[in-house]
Amino acid sequence: MMRIELRLVIVSLLGVFLLAAAPSQTAPGSSEIEALIGQLSSPDEKVRQAAQEKLIGMGEDARVALEAHVRARAAAEAALQKIDTNKVAGATMLTLDVKEASAENVIAEITKQTGFEIQPSHESVWQQANPTPIGLSVNKQPFWSVMREVCSKTGLSIYPGGYSDRRIRVIGASQVGQNPMKCPAVINGAFMITVNSLQRTSTIDMANPQSISRSMYLQMMTFCEPKVRVIQYSYSPEMEEAVDDKGNSLIPAMRSGAMRQMTQGRGVVWNSSVPLQYPAEPGQKISKLRGKLRFVVQTRSETLEIPDVLKAKDVTKTVAGRRISLKEFRKTGDRQYQAHIVVNREGMDHQQFSEIVNNPSVRVIDADGHELVYNGSNGGSGGNDVYETRLMFSSRVGGPEAAAPGEPATLLWELPTAVQEITIPFEFTDLPLP
């Protein structure tokens, strides 16, 4: 009996030894799996397909590495998207070291560094500026920070509206009612948000004099660098917190989603109106005002170009998958022009079609590259598949006659091929209550 048990033990140990010495039949090495995963990005389709089939055949043995690869790829795509966004919505950094310079020369240097069109709103702007030469030394500072300092030292401001193109107009600070360059501001990347005014009203119902209603509105402005192509923006900010120094909440009850409405954007300046609740026993200031604005910005684009535009008739081009026809471009009056354009929807979803026809980024330049002013459209007409519109332009820029653009030479239409929604947060403190 003892011999049998001993023989069984010896056989068992021998089996263990043989299993340990035999070639492994378990999962392939991680280096092999990693090599196959690397082949998934090969430019050769056959290599990619073969690697995929081998990984599928490995089943659960390849799962962990593949899941890690998927996570890494998602993170890489998110990083690339952020790079694209920062390229168009990140701050332009300026370095200036000027001494005894005029306002006109400082603005000219900023224009040279940025490539932005920064122009006087009219010919007498430089005479309205502070005549004392200024000195300015900044190193890699955001564009809007520099512009605020320049405006403070020169007596200039940014014209707060009236144009729908991507230009910045400077104007004498005394010529604007509320100087946005002196208002409280938050600078975030290529955007600057200012608080311009806070208004409170009280209304008495004379049929019921005991009934008094009070309301309060905050007026804000958003400026963006001209390099940013805004497709849509939220007219009203999404308020996250608004409290006075007594702890009263100033955010009124609103219908759900009211602050998420967006409208078509064009230009570099937008106004926002923020309704606030006036408390029964208010404090003396808003201790904190926090919220965010949403923008849909273009991150990639292709440009349709039609040269010799005054002679162009029935020109059809396909750019970025969009088929667009310029029926004609004609003069309609003294320095006034009109472009008759037809857009075919073919293959575009409703959002893409809406972005193009409701907010066309069409520019017209003269032979020297000077841009005419876009004066809007006559609306448009058409069905679900074709949209027909007429866009108006003029060569009056408000400056001296010699500075006005010449005859139209080229029509350029920047068509978005990729857009992204971005959020611009803001926070203000210690704003006085009326």
As a whole number, mean pLDDT of residues 163-191 equals 88
Q: Indicate if the pLDDT at residue 73 is higher than 90.
A: no
Q: What is the pLDDT of residue 285?
A: 95
Q: Indicate if the pLDDT at residue 4 is higher than 70.
A: no
Percent of the chain with pLDDT over 70: 84
As a whole number, mean pLDDT of residues 298-307 equals 90
Q: Indicate if the pLDDT at residue 24 is higher than 70.
A: no
User: Sorting pLDDT into bands at 50, 70 and 90, what band is 260?
Assistant: low
CA atoms of 149 and 96, how far apart (whole Å): 12
Q: What is the pLDDT of residue 5?
A: 40
Q: Indicate if the pLDDT at residue 185 is higher than 60.
A: yes
Three-class secondary structure of residue 309 per DSSP: helix
CA angle 120, 135, 92 (to 5 degrees): 60
Q: Which two tokens stand for residue 72?
A: 């890494």
Question: 209-238 pLDDT, tens per residue?
Answer: 888 888 899 999 999 999 998 888 888 899
CA atoms of 55 and 326, how far apart (whole Å): 53
As a whole number, mean pLDDT of residues 103-131 equals 90
Question: 82-113 pLDDT, tens per residue?
Answer: 777 677 789 999 999 999 999 999 999 999 99
Q: Indicate if the pLDDT at residue 18 is higher than 50.
A: no
Q: Indicate if the pLDDT at residue 334 is higher than 70.
A: yes
Residues 308, 409: contact at Cβ < 8 Å?
Answer: yes
Whole-angstrom CA distances from 138 to 87, 170, 353 are 22, 20, 44
Burial readout 282-300 (b: 16 or more C-beta within 10 A, e: otherwise):
beeebbbbebbbbbbbbbe
User: Sorting pLDDT into bands at 50, 70 and 90, what band is 396?
Assistant: low
Q: What is the pLDDT of residue 321?
A: 78
User: Cβ contacts of residue 114 below 8 Å, gap of 6+?
Assistant: 92, 94, 143, 225, 227
Mean pLDDT estimate for the chain: 83
For 382-408, the DSSP string reads --SSEEEEEEEEE---SS-GGGS--S-
Q: Indicate if the pLDDT at residue 420 is higher than 70.
A: yes
Residues 347, 321: contact at Cβ < 8 Å?
Answer: yes
Tokens 């938050």 correspond to: 186
